[in-house]
Chain A
């Protein structure tokens, strides 16, 4: 780890508690606090990527993965029920590991919103989509999910959407719509968000079941061709 990364992480560790104190003291809108926290959490990922001075091929691989995911989100914009994008991000994570998975997820959220519109949800979407790629990469590194089968991929996709992506986005809407949310006042939002989350989870499962095997075949060939095999 370089000096820059170390400083970034230390700054994050100091800033996060400071933020909570400030919020408590000055009665700051919870959304601002929450969003700043989310951004703080993402900064180390971006900085450590920059720090590595990635070479041209790495940039191209991530750009292509992001562009494919963005295009997949755009392709199904006419079918609001079907959202393959989390599945695509997870496949990227399976094939290229946690860091690439996180970047693909976060940047897909950011860039597709340049096309569909940025909003208060952007940082939350970046964070949660990034996490889904990160977890996918982690699972595949630990050998828990190979990406070649169907069952484990489907389960992991289902759980990631239901436990990470869905709740994160629900939290962002709770924070924008409710003053001083408590567990008691916030639960209706999570309940009302549940059907949408289930639908997203099913789409992700379908995408993974149908695509992960053929896509990974292609991506593995690409890794060979780009000389990226570890």
Chain B
């Protein structure tokens, strides 16, 4: 666990709940203020999780943003305010362009959330969450994560072994090389299944399948986890309530109409939404500051 951030140290259930909440909300709410919040908070969280590495993505994200923005009005001609026409009467409308912006924002923020997700939700956290519901599937995931590095090493060994007895087909034509790849895979397959018999024996020998099975894990669910979970659910509840009451009501087609902050629900919902999305970033930064202070006192 290198560079573990505060948020990644919370119970995986917390991590997972947050990501599901953030990703779903980012897709559900098309209100411009909400969209801006989602983009900024996803970027801030990504920065606090991955550090400067995350800046490398920015160029790519801008490109994606531009592409999705433009593709929508080209493919969708609905909308009342025609900006210009092209190709004999095909109209390019303001409303469709706005819709393009909306979708581009959603798309980019989802990419950013997933980027942080991948840094935090490792396979063992996934197994921890789904272990109780899908024990056999979780077992398989854990086994596969164990096998894959093994197989890569073995494939390299087989390839070297064949090269050293002149069977690599290095100087041969394409067919020889394909044949060699096939041989490596064949050998790897036999070896893998042969070893699998011992693995299955070892499982049965340690009581697998003899009755009720429990799930052990090194993750705990403590007071901090509980309070964060309650906070998250509370905030999401407020957001949902406000949204149902019309906070996020927007129309882009055929005409743009938006509920702004003069609507009390929009305002309250928005504040709750921003708070929810920024929770992990705040926790990460708070931890970072604590460390700096502690270090400066030494």
B43 proximal to A (CB < 8 A): no
Residues of A within 8 A of B118 (CB): 117-118
Main secondary structure of the interface of A (DSSP, over half): helix
16 contacts between A and B (CB under 8 A): A53-B136, A56-B200, A66-B144, A67-B144, A68-B185, A74-B148, A103-B140, A111-B148, A114-B123, A114-B126, A120-B110, A178-B72, A179-B99, A180-B253, A184-B75, A226-B200
The answer to whether A64 touches B192, judged by C-beta atoms less than 8 angstroms apart, is yes
Residues of A within 8 A of B106 (CB): 29
With A117-B114, A177-B71, A178-B103 already in contact, the answer to whether A28 and B196 are too (CB < 8 A) is no
A142 proximal to B (CB < 8 A): no
Query: How far, in angstroms, from A50 to B151 measured CA to CA in the complex?
Result: 27
The answer to whether B189 touches A60, judged by C-beta atoms less than 8 angstroms apart, is no
Main secondary structure of the interface of B (DSSP, over half): helix
| Min CB–CB distance B19 → chain A (angstroms) | 10
Report the interface size for chain B: residues with CB under 8 A from the other chain: 59
Residues of B within 8 A of A67 (CB): 143-144, 147-148, 151, 192
The answer to whether B148 touches A115, judged by C-beta atoms less than 8 angstroms apart, is yes
Partner among A46, A70, A185, A222 whose Cβ is within 8 Å of the Cβ of B76: A185
| Min CB–CB distance A49 → chain B (angstroms) | 6
Partner among A68, A180, A221 whose Cβ is within 8 Å of the Cβ of B192: A68
Query: How far, in angstroms, from A29 to B38 measured CA to CA in the complex?
Result: 16
B24 proximal to A (CB < 8 A): yes
Question: Chain A 44-79, CB within 8 Å of chain B: the 1/0 string?
Answer: 001001100111110111111011101110110000
How many interface residues does chain A have, given as a range?
Answer: 35 or more
B102 proximal to A (CB < 8 A): yes
Tell which of B47-55, B203-211, B217-225, B281-289 binds the partner.
B203-211
B36 proximal to A (CB < 8 A): no
Query: How far, in angstroms, from A184 to B126 measured CA to CA in the complex?
Result: 39
Residue of B nearest to A108 (CB): B144
Residues of B within 8 A of A177 (CB): 68, 71-72, 103, 107
With A31-B27, A71-B152, A115-B148 already in contact, the answer to whether A59 and B114 are too (CB < 8 A) is no
A199 proximal to B (CB < 8 A): no
With A29-B106, A178-B103 already in contact, the answer to whether A119 and B208 are too (CB < 8 A) is no
The answer to whether A70 touches B136, judged by C-beta atoms less than 8 angstroms apart, is no
The answer to whether A70 touches B148, judged by C-beta atoms less than 8 angstroms apart, is yes
